Amino acid sequence: MTDTHAATQPAPRGKGAYVAVIIITAIVTYGIVALLMNINERKQESQQHYVKLVDLSEKTIDPAEWGKNFPRQYDSYKRTAENTSRRHGGSEAISKLEDDPRLRRIFAGYAFSVDYRERRGHAFMLEDQDNTERVKQFKQPGACLQCHASITAAYREAGDGDLMKGFEKICAMPLKEARGLVEHPVACIDCHDPQSMQLRVTRPGFIRGIADLAKHVAEELAANAKKPKEEASSAPLPHLTSIHQWARHRNQGSTDEYDVNALATRQEMRSYVCGQCHVEYYFKGDKKTVTYPWHNGLRVEQIESYYDANSYKDYAHAETGAPILKAQHPEFELWNQGIHARSGVSCSDCHMPYQREGAIKVSDHQVRSPLLNIARACQTCHRYGEDEIKARAETIQSRNKALLDRAEDALVELLDTLKTAKSGNVDPKVLEESLALQRKAQWRVDYINAENSMGFHAPQEAARILGEAIDYARQGQLKVLGPK
């Protein structure tokens, strides 16, 4: 008789199954522990801003020394030496005079009619200053170095520790003499405190200029407060919050001056450090002191009114004799009129966006156009495709370029009209009025041409300025030609 119970008993499991379970458990346990260790390591890494390998001081100018403590930032800083190209602009030293021959006539009588090139990256700012024909063929002051060199330490040394005194002393020097005091282009020390690494403004021209602007804002707010509500204008530059806060205290009786390094917010400083150099300025008086003309505000006509009040001109136009203003590179001024500034977006947010290296978040120090880095520079706010963002930006720039071309054409036609008028029998008073219109038209054309965003920083403002330029040029022609 068969034992059915014994026949249905399962066979005992082998040792292999138990070994497999142990191995799988060990692997899973190892994986979990490794993951936890990696998470902890990344957390520790994210809290470690840098490893101090060298001591930094106000005399540590060479960015390579800073790079020993901050290798990530230094690596991207060195990449400003890379040439880039875009549809409008880039960082290759292309001659603007060859690309746009109208500029030779527009700048006739001034050094820019001899050599005028596209600006390159920060790595070349001192080298390009050395090599331009504007320096080789024309005498220039040491003031030029404020925006072309790492010069803070030289200012302090020349002033026996006094930054402002040294600044004024070097500005008045011949450029050839002052050039021997500097060695590097813009460097870490120009924007960062060597002890705390906090952002700071080191350019005396900006320190004084922003204080003058703050006084203007206070005056505007005080004037608005006296007007009926329906007559009051909008607050000037509302996005510069520290200036508005200071202005309110000043209007309540405070006598403290606006100190940008003490009062500005961190987000403001992320634009102010750029605005130290990317601005309009002029060399004031016989001492050639770099001065930012912000006493009446940052708009193009407010800067113009300051120059007019001081009877200032950069040169007399070689063809017409008109007293001309030469714009420098007013990116900061135009940006302040645009939607990004009003929305609290800083220069660094777009041109030096944050990036991740491991668990560490750092600013990309390869300062460049956002259109070369759309994913990190633009898409953090604008949630649509890269091609769409690029197309929108280039459309704005192409329209600005078309309007700029029309403005330059109108200006050149005014030059032709004035040349003919000067050789004819034109009332001197009428001619003088037409030359004043040339000054206004050329200032506006050059303002947008010299500004390096091709209108993108403030498209509506750029269009307004170019529209006025065309209008003033045509008015100048009509003034001389008279009614038909």
pLDDT digits (tens, 9 = 90+) for 161-218: 999 999 999 999 999 999 999 999 999 999 999 999 999 999 999 999 999 999 999 9
pLDDT at 96 over 90: yes
Query: Per the domain annotation, does 188 fall within a domain?
Result: no
Angle between helices 204-225 and 266-275 (to 10 degrees): 120
Residue 36 has pLDDT above 90, yes or no: no
What is the spatial distance between Cα 204 and Cα 192, in angstroms, rounded to a whole number?
15
* CA 77 to each of CA 73, 270, 368: distance values in angstroms, whole numbers, following the listed order: 6, 16, 11
Q: Exposed, middle or buried: residue 29 (CB in 10 Å: 0-12, 13-18, 19+)?
A: exposed
Segment 396-435, tens digit of pLDDT: 999 999 999 999 999 999 999 999 998 888 899 999 999 9
Q: Angle 319-412-300 (CA atoms, 0-180°, nearest 5)?
A: 95
What local confidence, expressed as pLDDT, does residue 6 receive?
Answer: 46
Residue 54: per-residue pLDDT: 95
* Domain presence at residue 21: no
**Residue 262: inside a domain, yes or no?**
yes
Cα–Cα distances in angstroms (integers) from residue 83 to residues 74, 86, 334, in the given order: 18, 10, 25
Taking 60 as the threshold, does the pLDDT of residue 66 lie above it?
A: yes
Reported confidence tier of residue 34, pLDDT bands at 50, 70, 90: confident
Q: Is residue 225 part of a domain?
A: yes
* Contact indicator for 282, 311 with CB cutoff of 8 Å: no
Name the residue among 102, 107, 144 with its Cα closest to residue 316. Answer: 107
The pLDDT of residue 94 is 86
As a whole number of angstroms, the distance between CA 283 and CA 294 comes to 14
Residue 306: what pLDDT?
A: 98
Tell me which of 3-7, 196-200, 308-312, 368-372 is least confident.
Answer: 3-7
Q: Any idea which of 138-147, 190-199, 284-293, 420-429 has the lowest mean pLDDT? A: 420-429
Coil, strand, or helix at residue 358? coil
- For residues 353-366, give the mean pLDDT: 89
Domain span including residue 243 = 206-269
Average model confidence (pLDDT) across the chain: 92
Contact 162, 144 (CB under 8 A): no
pLDDT value at residue 12? 53
Q: What is the pLDDT of residue 1?
A: 45
308-334 mean pLDDT = 97
**Does some domain include residue 240?**
yes
- The answer to whether position 380 is within a domain reads no
Q: What confidence tier does 48 reach under pLDDT thresholds 50, 70, 90?
A: low
> Does 235 fall in a domain?
yes
CB burial class (10 A; 0-12, 13-18, 19+) of residue 286? exposed
Mean pLDDT over 126-140 rounds to 94
223 assigned to some structural domain? yes
Res. 369: pLDDT tops 90: yes
The whole-number pLDDT of residue 475 equals 97
Hey, what amino acid is at 437?
L
Mean pLDDT (whole number) for 269-275: 97
pLDDT band of residue 267 (cuts 50, 70, 90) is: very high
Distance CA 189, CA 177 (A): 23
Residue type, 287: K
At residue 33, the pLDDT reads 85
- Whether the predicted pLDDT of 258 surpasses 80: yes
List, for residues 457-473, the tens digit of each pLDDT value: 999 999 999 999 999 99
| pLDDT higher than threshold 80 for residue 10 | no
Average pLDDT over residues 66-94: 85
Q: What is the pLDDT of residue 195?
A: 93
Higher pLDDT residue, 55 or 482? Answer: 55
Task: Answer whether 0.75 is exceeded by the pTM.
Answer: yes
d(CA 233, CA 154): 44
pLDDT of residue 88: 73
Q: How many distinct structural domains can be found in the chain? A: 1
